[in-house]
Amino acid sequence: MAITVHEFAHAFAADRLGDNLPRQQGRVSLFPTDHLDPVGTLMMAVTSWTGFGIGWGKPVQTNPSAFRNPRRDQGIVAVAGPLSNIAQAALFSVGIRVALVAAPTGALSNSMWFDFLQSGLIVNLALAFFNLIPLKPLDGSWIMTAVLPYPQARAYEIFMLKYGPIIFLLLVFVFRGVIGMLIGPPVMFMQRLLLWGI
């Protein structure tokens, strides 16, 4: 669910900004199969057994020449994905509040439904902040390219094309603790903010 809405948000933003390529490819859709990447899905299943689940959906392709302002609009498309996950996390937090009000005290502590709501909150926040790490192929690299002054953005893009994927793979498969250090604090902060008063 989190990945489907994330990829839909990229496609929807690009479509609204004048790029019809995602619509032509059937990506302006909330059907999970339209965003399924076989390898990314398999990785989710396999790595979940290790306690560190990682996977991905099919990347949304865009045509920057269709945008009125390619750098700005590509940045908007990139940030739409993480924002959609924060919005989903907010909805899950509302669900948690409603469930706590509706259920007798303590009745939800071992509830599968409550576990689903809590997981939805955490997974979406983790996906949002993970994707904001400024490394290719993550959304954060596109956002950095959009906000940096052009000379620095160009140098950053060249560096990321050469070394970004290597650094990313090292973080994911070798230095996983670094990812926790990067995304743990903002995830915990947003969780406390969304569940304020609970």
The catalytic residue positions are 7
Radius of gyration of the chain from its Cα atoms, rounded to whole angstroms: 18
Judge whether 58 and 36 are in contact, CB under 8 Å: yes
Tell me if residue 128 falls in helix, strand or coil. Answer: helix
* Closest residue by Cα to residue 182 from 132, 148, 136, 123: 132
Other Cβ atoms less than 10 A from the Cβ of 85: the count is 24
What's the rounded Cα separation, in Å, for the pair 108 and 102? 10
Cα–Cα distance measured from residue 151 to residue 111, given in angstroms and rounded to the nearest whole number: 54
Q: How far apart are CA 33 and CA 179, in angstroms?
A: 28
Whether 60 and 22 have beta carbons less than 8 Å apart is answered as yes
